[in-house]
Amino acid sequence: MKVAVLGLGYVGLPLALAIKKRTNHDVVGYDPKAEKVDKILKGICPIEDAQAERDLKEVKLKASTNEEIIDGSDIYFVCVPTPVLDDYTPDLRPLTSAIETIAKFLHRGQYVVIESTVNPGVCDELVVPMLENLTGLKVVKDFNVVHCPERINPGDPKWNVYNIPRNIGSTSPEATKFIADFYRSVLDAEIHEMPDLKTTEATKIIENTFRDINIAFVNELAKSFEVLGIDILAVINGASNKPFAFLPHYPGCGVGGHCIPVDPYYLIDRASKSGFDHKFLKLAREINNSMPAHTVNHLVDALNKFSKSVKGTRIALLGLSYKPNLGDLRESPALKIKKLLEEKEADLVCFDPYVKEFSNVASIEEALTGAFAILLATAHNEFRVINGELLSKYEVKVVIDGRNFLDKEDIQKYGIYYKGIGR
């Protein structure tokens, strides 16, 4: 068969490489970003994914910015972004544009597989009608639409495209079985057949919403325990030895990435169109969105104790990406913190060993030089060296630990002011 992958990012590229590596199918990739395609053609991995980097060394992928490359495919995999607009409603433009591209080439007997995360109803209410209207073909009779939401966790040393189980639903049981068998021929993981498209779409959305509301819960607890004078980490450690029905989540300076702070809005929006108000999910989003400002308020309060203002004070912001040990900036709370500190006219230095282009110093030591306060926003391993001794050597007076990552007692031992989130 010929298979096409539309969108060669964190989701599409590992998938295309896996199909190429494990099968004899002709695999092609289409992505409008020339820079990305050029790198892939040169064997350079454009994403931070260790498995994809290894696979790209083993196999050569056909990729192009010209959509003609997907012509004649038996299966089209859609792995394009599904972000939100400024008003937090779904931005389905990359998806509709990918569907328009596929419609130009779609023929009888072909399959369109949506791997992008979408709310319940997108496949039935948008993808199928678009393809029918644009091609004159009839769903099930002529073509099928399948949803197989990706769950990849970039940077995860254990879980990758090959071993993460998948759920598959579609427009017909035969199509579900056919595409499930296709995935079984590529992946090692369990491939679970779902009743339909809507159920499959909802499954993916609730997985990420589960994370968002649990993080919101601990973020709210963190704010409460700050006024109650209770250390939230000690509480979570205590609760975690319950052998059932407690799952630890940890508070922090905000939730980032392309999935967790985005996907709940897709469900909120679609349910609201059918008359249901997701109050709980909205509140979770509100709490998590409040964390960057809450963290900056800790800094304001700390500086106040030293009769200082943020304005004009040298502050080192450590970490810009949303996730430890990766340089992904999508929806990063550190960027919101950066903006707030810039608005308050801080004398700001930023350092992230994974995001050199947005760092204005080249090392931790350089960031600490002359800094009155540090605000740690990402728990990169490189920041493990930051301890009381190093901070006192550079005469840092205030530590705001947005990830509860540094050793509070050690830092306080040196007479340095320490404030974490909820401790």
Ligand X SMILES: NC(=O)c1ccc[n+]([C@@H]2O[C@H](COP(=O)([O-])OP(=O)(O)OC[C@H]3O[C@@H](n4cnc5c(N)ncnc54)[C@H](O)[C@@H]3O)[C@@H](O)[C@H]2O)c1
- Which of these ranges, 91-99, 191-199, 288-296, 386-394, lies near ligand X under the rule CB under 6 A? 91-99
* Catalytic hit among 204, 223, 338, 397: 204
Q: Considering only residues 3, 18, 36, 396, which one is a binding residue for ligand X as defined by CB under 6 A?
A: 36
- Which of these ranges, 147-155, 184-192, 297-305, 379-387, lies near ligand X under the rule CB under 6 A? 147-155
Indicate the residue among 12 and 120 with the shorter CB distance to ligand X. 12
For residues 372 and 398, the answer to whether their CB atoms sit within 8 Å is yes
Contacts of 243 (CB under 8 A, 6+ apart): none
Reply yes or no on whether 33 is catalytic.
Answer: no
**Exposure letters 372-392 (e unless 16+ CB within 10 A, then b):** bbbbbbbbbebbeebebeebe
How many chain residues are in contact with ligand X, going by CB under 6 A?
A: 28
What is the number of residues in the chain? 423
Q: Should residue 121 be labelled a site residue for ligand X when binding is judged by CB under 6 A? A: no
Indicate the residue among 55 and 150 with the shorter CB distance to ligand X. 150
Q: Should residue 216 be labelled a site residue for ligand X when binding is judged by CB under 6 A? A: no
Q: Should residue 11 be labelled a site residue for ligand X when binding is judged by CB under 6 A? A: yes
Binding mask 49-88 for ligand X (x = CB under 6 A): ------------------------------xxxx------
| 3-class secondary-structure state, position 313 | coil
**Exposure letters 86-97 (e unless 16+ CB within 10 A, then b):** eebebbbebbee
d(CA 404, CA 400) in angstroms, rounded, equals 9
**Interactions with ligand X, residue window 241-300 (CB under 6 A):** 258-259
Handedness of CA 406, 411, 412, 413 (dihedral sign): positive
d(CA 101, CA 98) in angstroms, rounded, equals 5
Q: Should residue 94 be labelled a site residue for ligand X when binding is judged by CB under 6 A? A: yes
| Partners of 76 in the β-ladder | 4, 112
Instruction: Based on DSSP, count helices (H) and strands (E) in the chain, helices before strands.
Output: 15, 13
Q: Should residue 32 be labelled a site residue for ligand X when binding is judged by CB under 6 A? A: yes
* Catalytic hit among 45, 79, 148, 259: 259
Indicate the residue among 103 and 230 with the shorter CB distance to ligand X. 103
d(CA 321, CA 333) in angstroms, rounded, equals 8
Indicate the residue among 15 and 232 with the shorter CB distance to ligand X. 15
Q: Should residue 29 be labelled a site residue for ligand X when binding is judged by CB under 6 A? A: no
Q: Should residue 30 be labelled a site residue for ligand X when binding is judged by CB under 6 A? A: yes
Identify the helix (H) or strand (E) that includes residue 329: none
Q: How many Cβ atoms sit within 10 Å of the Cβ of residue 193? A: 16
DSSP state of 391: H
Q: Should residue 116 be labelled a site residue for ligand X when binding is judged by CB under 6 A? A: yes
Binding mask 325-354 for ligand X (x = CB under 6 A): ------------------------------
Reply yes or no on whether 79 is catalytic.
Answer: no
Identify the helix (H) or strand (E) that includes residue 188: none
Active site residues: 204, 259
Residues in contact with ligand X by CB under 6 A are 6-12, 30-33, 36, 79-82, 94, 97-98, 101, 116-117, 150-152, 154, 258-259
